[in-house]
Amino acid sequence: MPARVVTRRWPSRALGRDKRVNVVLPGRYGAEGPPHPVLYLLHGYGGGRDTWLTHTGLVESLDDSRLVVVLPESGRRWFVNDHAGLPYEDYLVQDLVADVDREFNTIADRGGRAAGGFSMGGAAALFLALRNRGVFSAAVSHAGAFEAPLRRGDPYAAHRGDPAMLMPDEESHDRVWGPPGSATRRRYDPYRLVGLPGQGPGPALYLDVGTGDHDRVIRMNRRMRDALRAHHWSPEYRERQGGHDWDFVRAALPASLAFVTHHLLGTAVNGVSSV
């Protein structure tokens, strides 16, 4: 049976307004019977709830899967409790998770949940998983922009003429993170998060980045890998062919879906995780 997409509009107490979300119900979804694991898959900067549907083969990838995938949206505001007072982390972790578990047949505990994303969404997925260990047991990041809380100025200024390059300018960036030294920047400092003692087990982590991505992005992914290892995490890390674009994500998606499915369901075929 093919996977299908349903759209829901739920009120968010955190944001004080309704938010729409797409939910991909896999081909093997059943409203009765064994509950299903859930992946909260976050878009990149400027994206929305349709971005993954438009730019990847996500739906077709779930035709023979039990994995429910939830596609929220934050536009250009990240999925953090930002400096301007928009609590997108609270929305996702508190409101959206509860709504999904209430309406669908899901594994309603950390062992059945993962967060993932691309670029902005990849970094946010890691931040959310490290900060909410009682909610998520795995996180995947494609070309994560992990050092956004540390950014000063506009390191992408030279690329502003490239229509495929969508990165926040300095004003937009500081609207989310605040000025250097802000409480928001300290709260989400990736290297601080990696070293924080956590209550309960840490999430399983998967990171990848394209060998043709921007040097800054490649370097920050390598630094994040090294920081995780230095603090006794064991991330699965890969560098793949491709740039900072959806072609790269489309090619990398099967491996990350397999990683999530393996860690949420413990399933494998001939030693290879299966979706």
Helices and strands (H and E) in the chain: how many: 10, 10
CATH architecture of the region 4-273: 3-Layer(aba) Sandwich (3.40)
> What is the average pLDDT value for the chain, to the nearest integer?
90
pLDDT digits (tens, 9 = 90+) for 43-95: 998 899 999 999 999 999 999 999 999 999 998 788 999 999 999 999 999 99
* Residues whose CB is less than 8 angstroms from the CB of residue 242 and which lie 6 or more positions away in sequence, other chains included: 210, 211, 212, 213, 248, 251, 252
Reference 116, options 221, 209, 3, 38; nearest CA is 38
Q: What is the reported pLDDT for 130? A: 96
pLDDT digits (tens, 9 = 90+) for 136-176: 999 999 999 999 999 886 666 665 555 555 666 666 777 89
| Contact indicator for 46, 83 with CB cutoff of 8 Å | no
What is the token pair recorded at 201? 């087990």
